Chain A
Amino acid sequence: MRVAEAWRVALEALRANRLRSMLTMLGVVIGVAAVVALVAIGTGTKNQIENQVEGLGSNLLIVVPGRLEAGAAPTSSPLTLDDVEAVNRIVGDRSRVAVTISSGEAVRAGSRTGFASMQGVLETTPTVFVRRLDRGAYLTRTDVSTGRRVVVLGAGVARDLFGDRDPIGRQITIGGVRFRVVGTFEQLGQSLGVDRDGEVHVPVTAAQRLLGTERIDGLAIRAPDRERIGELSAAVVAALTDRHPDTDFSAVTQEQILGVLGDILGVLTGVLAAIAGISLLVGGVGVSNIMLVSVRERTKEIGLRKAVGARPRDIGVQFLLEAVLLTTTGGILGMLLGGTTALLVDRFTPVPAALTWWSMALAFGVSAAVGIVFGVVPAQRAGRLDPVVALRTE
């Protein structure tokens, strides 16, 4: 029997039981749609987080005291601005080195109050990281060297304290100390689960005075090129360890952060796909069940086909194609449903979703495979029917 003919017969048989075919297909549709949509959400989340990490700036090296290991106790930082001078000498370009000391502080402007993450920083921050200003100017080297009480507001803080008014030149208090607003940041939104718009940047020296400390939390270096990151990392860690023999220092690159996050999110996506795959499996069992019913119902037809010359294989192929047609049609519908769901989720909810061709191809391939796997037993049963017995069935 020709393949085209077998497809035609299979299609005809499915059409004859339209409602039943559709209900059977529904199991596969839901399974495939779930796989496609959940993988899209997993992928979208992964892409978003990767973009956020990459959006911090390129060729970044972040140096913090302590070990970056699961279960490692947080280490109090021994770093001071003297250490930063030492690092500057290694890097050879102070504009490539940023520092931070952060603290959550209450902020107030007139009668309006709020809460901000105060970051004590050098004037180099916008060149090391990617931070764009909305209004005004960033901190200057003089601001830092003199410990001037000036502040650049995150978009969220600016809105909380000033609404639509221009905050440039106005006074706010941070932790009860008066600062003058010199600039505001562009809106950034959430990044890695942190509200970046809730930050306020002040000169590191002013922050140290406010907090009564000489310390800084850590520093970040923007390497001139990717190749030099490793070398630079080793040199900086060695120099800092030399100055503070009792403390471990860790240096991480964006690649390392991306690698770890990518692994975690990859596993998450895999788990989502596996859970969705279970529903696809259940759909396959439904197909198998209906095909067995179909073989029984059409015993007479099978007997007749055999009497006029159908080989066992012809009958088997016919029923197998029926099952495959059911599941692949379900697979295509499921892809459309899952894809549409993913696009709607991406557009109308905060959850990101990104369709990937491989998840679509995989879901389709799996649905075809489900048809074969779950169609084989009914097809074999049909192919092996004794024509004498089959014809006698009334």
Chain B
Amino acid sequence: MTAAIVADNVSRTYQLDGVSVDALRGVSLTVETGDYVAIVGTSGSGKSTLMHLLGGLDRPTGGTLLIGGRDVARLTPDEMAELRNTTIGFVFQSFHLLARTTAQDNVGLPLVYRGVGRRERRERAAAMLDRVGLGHRVTHRPNQMSGGEQQRVAIARALVTGPSVLLADEPTGNLDSATGQSVLALLETLNADGVAVVLVTHDREVAARAHRQIRMKDGLIA
């Protein structure tokens, strides 16, 4: 079975006002299918940059990065978009839900870019909301839901295209600890069903629940 993501000596250098900033300086790691990895480190350690690369939002400036077996260096912007759509699911700290849109249509959003019709989108979204325990919130808007519920909607959205990897950037960062626990428990259930979970966090307790931890420091794996 091929690994979901393979990074080999990946680096990322930004040009900020003519100054080169090395955010990542040669990182190698493999995310296996069904893996549960926590990436930890202080802010500025490069963990967010790494997550953007692993999610296909950004491209490395050095090294090789394979997502779903495809070398991102060879992909066009459209192919990168397709990769994000089909292979990766994102969960953000601040949920990033569309405010005026129902839970159902938020969850169905990735399917819009797959050309799935509205009826089928809504069916699949409702099924996914049911799976994250929000079967009763289908037509609610984000402002009618609690933080934990909003994050579940975001998780349902990340899963709706059936990706092999879920990338979660501080998914519990905006939640109280009890709600955070239940969100983590949901991610772990999904992981048990076969989705690889990559968790970016600076919370040791959260990180400790993963099968393995990768500690970032100064753009390198410590």
Give residues in A with beta carbon < 8 Å to B.
1-2, 5, 12, 16, 300-301, 303-314, 386-388, 391, 394
CB contacts (< 8 Å) of B185 on chain A: these are none
| A156 CA / B78 CA spacing, docked (Å) | 79
| A394 CA / B93 CA spacing, docked (Å) | 12
| A386 CA / B161 CA spacing, docked (Å) | 23
**Residues A12 and B85 in contact, CB atoms below 8 Å apart:** no
Chain A residue nearest in CB terms to B101:
A12
Per-residue A-contact encoding for B72-110, CB less than 8 Å = 1, 0 else: 000001100110111000101010101011000000011
A contacts with B: majority SS: helix
The smallest beta-carbon distance between A289 and chain B, in angstroms, is: 23
| A394 CA / B112 CA spacing, docked (Å) | 25
- Tell me whether A1 and B112 are in contact in the complex, defined as CB-CB below 8 angstroms, given that A307-B57, A307-B84, A308-B85 are known contacts: yes
Is the C-beta of B52 less than 8 angstroms from some C-beta in chain A? yes
| A303 CA / B84 CA spacing, docked (Å) | 12
Our pick among B81, B92, B101, B157 for the contact of A310 (Cβ within 8 Å) is B81
| A91 CA / B215 CA spacing, docked (Å) | 112
Q: How many A-B residue pairs have CB under 8 A?
A: 65
Is the C-beta of B114 less than 8 angstroms from some C-beta in chain A? yes
Chain A residue nearest in CB terms to B158:
A308
- Tell me whether A308 and B52 are in contact in the complex, defined as CB-CB below 8 angstroms, given that A5-B118, A313-B78 are known contacts: no
| A42 CA / B109 CA spacing, docked (Å) | 51
**Residues B77 and A312 in contact, CB atoms below 8 Å apart:** yes
**Residues B161 and A309 in contact, CB atoms below 8 Å apart:** yes
**Residues B52 and A309 in contact, CB atoms below 8 Å apart:** no
Chain B residue nearest in CB terms to A390:
B57
Is the C-beta of B55 less than 8 angstroms from some C-beta in chain A? yes
Which 3 residue pairs spanning A and B have beta carbons closest together?
A309-B85, A308-B110, A309-B113
Q: How many residues on the B side are at the interface (Cβ–Cβ under 8 A)?
A: 28
Our pick among B78, B98, B114, B115 for the contact of A301 (Cβ within 8 Å) is B98
CB contacts (< 8 Å) of A303 on chain B: these are 96
CB contacts (< 8 Å) of A311 on chain B: these are 77-78, 81-82, 113
| A181 CA / B112 CA spacing, docked (Å) | 86
CB contacts (< 8 Å) of B130 on chain A: these are none
**Residues A309 and B110 in contact, CB atoms below 8 Å apart:** yes
Our pick among B81, B92, B118 for the contact of A306 (Cβ within 8 Å) is B81
**Residues B82 and A309 in contact, CB atoms below 8 Å apart:** yes
The smallest beta-carbon distance between A261 and chain B, in angstroms, is: 57
**Residues B157 and A2 in contact, CB atoms below 8 Å apart:** no
**Residues A309 and B100 in contact, CB atoms below 8 Å apart:** no
Is the C-beta of B117 less than 8 angstroms from some C-beta in chain A? yes
Q: A16-B100, A309-B161 are in contact. List 7 more A-B contacts (CB 8 A).
A: A2-B112, A304-B96, A308-B113, A309-B85, A312-B81, A386-B58, A394-B94
| A12 CA / B105 CA spacing, docked (Å) | 13
**Residues B118 and A305 in contact, CB atoms below 8 Å apart:** no
The smallest beta-carbon distance between B37 and chain A, in angstroms, is: 20
CB contacts (< 8 Å) of A1 on chain B: these are 112-113, 115
Our pick among A12, A312, A386, A391 for the contact of B92 (Cβ within 8 Å) is A391
**Residues B84 and A308 in contact, CB atoms below 8 Å apart:** yes
Chain B residue nearest in CB terms to A305:
B109
The smallest beta-carbon distance between A166 and chain B, in angstroms, is: 78
CB contacts (< 8 Å) of B94 on chain A: these are 394
Per-residue A-contact encoding for B156-175, CB less than 8 Å = 1, 0 else: 01000100000000000000
User: Can you list 22 A-B contacts (CB < 8 A)?
Assistant: A2-B112, A2-B115, A2-B117, A5-B118, A12-B101, A16-B100, A305-B109, A306-B57, A306-B81, A306-B84, A307-B55, A307-B90, A308-B85, A308-B110, A309-B84, A309-B85, A309-B114, A310-B113, A311-B78, A312-B81, A387-B58, A388-B57
| A387 CA / B110 CA spacing, docked (Å) | 15
| A391 CA / B58 CA spacing, docked (Å) | 12
The smallest beta-carbon distance between A379 and chain B, in angstroms, is: 15
**Residues A391 and B96 in contact, CB atoms below 8 Å apart:** yes
CB contacts (< 8 Å) of A16 on chain B: these are 100
| A391 CA / B52 CA spacing, docked (Å) | 10
Chain A residue nearest in CB terms to B92:
A391
